[in-house]
Amino acid sequence: MTTASHRRAVRPAAAGVGVVRQKFRSPPYRLRHPGCTRSAHPRHEDSAMQRILVVDDDPNERALLEAALSLEGYTVRTAGDGDEALYVLDSERPDAVITDLIMPGTDGLGVCRAIRARPELEDMSIVALTGGEYPQELTGLCDVFLRKPVDVGRLVDTLQQLAASKLLNALPLVGHGLRW
């Protein structure tokens, strides 16, 4: 039983690299293959949302979200607090902002208020994250509220739904050839 495929399977284990088989549940999201271009990525075929600004004072949370969203094909920019996020928004126009609500300095509510107050940013999608309860003052300021720890699959699905609704809202309402 020493076929070529058997030898190939055994050789890495003999070299000190083994394959461990575990029973595990597949992740609730699909990761992009490293060689796959963004346009070929199934989540972005018709998506209008590809640039994301992640705002969080926790560097671990920022790095986790940046890595996960980058693997999903998004272009991710990060900011460590609300003031830095507003500075980024002065020079760049992401498609969506994912912000933690509780941060020192300008918090997530301040970021949401500042975005909604600027006419050129009023249609920007905002996803608010926090480990606590939903703050009533957030009503009308963000599009979606998610509780931490956030499930990356759910976050990606949320971004896709926001992109789809943005595309639908951009379509002209004309009835060419349609009878109502």
pLDDT tens per residue across span 7-33: 333 334 344 443 333 333 333 334 444
CATH architecture of the domain with range 44-166: 3-Layer(aba) Sandwich (3.40)
pTM of the model: 0.69
Of the segments 39-43, 164-168, 171-175, which one has the largest average pLDDT value?
A: 164-168
* Average pLDDT score, the chain: 76
CA dist., res. 11 & res. 137, Å (int): 61
As a whole number, mean pLDDT of residues 158-169 equals 82
CA dist., res. 84 & res. 53, Å (int): 11
CA angle, corner 79, sides to 163 and 148, nearest 5?
A: 65
